[in-house]
Amino acid sequence: MTELKKYQTTAFTGFIILVGVLLYLIYNTFELKNKQYQVDLKQKLKQFYLKNVSKESIYAGGFSLLDSYLVKNIESLESEYLKSGSIKNQYTDSLLAMMFEELETRNPTDSLIQEIKKQYKLDDQLEYLIVINSISLRFSDNKPIPLYQYQKKYPFLKANLQSPQGYIVSGKLKSPQPQNIVTSMSMGPSSPYSYDITVTFFADRIDRQAEIFKSAMPVLLLTLFALLLVFFVYYFTFKSWSKQKKISDMKSDFINGITHEFNTPISTIMVANRAIQNEKVFNSKESITEFTEIIARQTKQLQTLFNQVMDITLVNTEIEKKEVIFCQLLTEVIQDYRIKTHDKNVYFYTQGINNETQVCLNRFWVTTMLSNIFDNAIKYGDKTPKEIHITVDGTPNGLRISIRDNGIGMEKYTVEHLFDKFYRGKNPGREHVSGLGLGMYYVQQCIQIHNWKLEVQSSIGQGSEILIVI
C-alpha 4/C-alpha 232 separation (Å) is 19
Backbone angles phi, psi at 183, to 5 degrees: -160, 150
Instruction: For residue range 224-253, list pLDDT tens digits in order.
Output: 788 788 778 878 887 887 777 776 766 665
Contact of 438 with 413, CB cutoff 8 Å:
no
Tell me the pTM.
Answer: 0.43
d(CA 148, CA 87): 10
CA distance linking residue 352 with residue 401, whole number of Å: 9
Residue 313, pLDDT score: 46
Q: What is the pLDDT of residue 54?
A: 55
Tell whether the model's pLDDT for residue 433 goes beyond 60.
no
Bridge partners for 457 per DSSP: 465
Across the range 55-81, mean pLDDT stands at 80
C-alpha 238/C-alpha 229 separation (Å) is: 14
Determine the pLDDT at residue 392. 93
Q: Average pLDDT over the chain, rounded to whole?
A: 80
For 307-469, CATH number out of 3.30.930.10, 3.40.190.170, 3.20.20.220, 3.30.565.10 equals 3.30.565.10
Say whether pLDDT at 314 is over 50.
no
Q: Dihedral of the CA atoms 241, 243, 249, 254 (nearest 10)?
A: -150
What percentage of residues in the chain have a pLDDT greater than 90?
Answer: 16
The proportion of the chain whose per-residue pLDDT surpasses 70, expressed as a percent, equals 82
The closest of 163, 185, 167, 159 to 175, measured between CA atoms, is: 163
- Of the candidates 423, 440, 435, 419, which has an alpha carbon nearest to the alpha carbon of residue 262? 435
What is residue 208's predicted lDDT score, i.e. its pLDDT? 67
pLDDT recorded at residue 103 = 85
**Residue 197: C-alpha distances to residues 101, 118, 165, 388 (Å):** 17, 30, 14, 100
Contact between 225 and 204 under an 8 Å Cβ cutoff? The reply is no
| Contact by Cβ (8 Å): 275, 253 | no
Q: Where are the domains of the chain?
A: 3-215, 307-469
CA geometry: angle 397, 324, 298, nearest 5 deg:
135
Write out the H or E segment, with its range, that includes residue 204: strand 194-205
Compute the distance between CA of residue 438 and CA of residue 443 in angstroms, rounded to an integer: 9
Confidence of residue 327 (pLDDT cuts 50, 70, 90): very high
Q: Averaged over 197-216, what is the pLDDT?
A: 76
Is 386 or 59 the better-scoring residue by pLDDT?
386
Residue 436: band (very low, low, confident or very high) from pLDDT cuts 50, 70, 90 = low
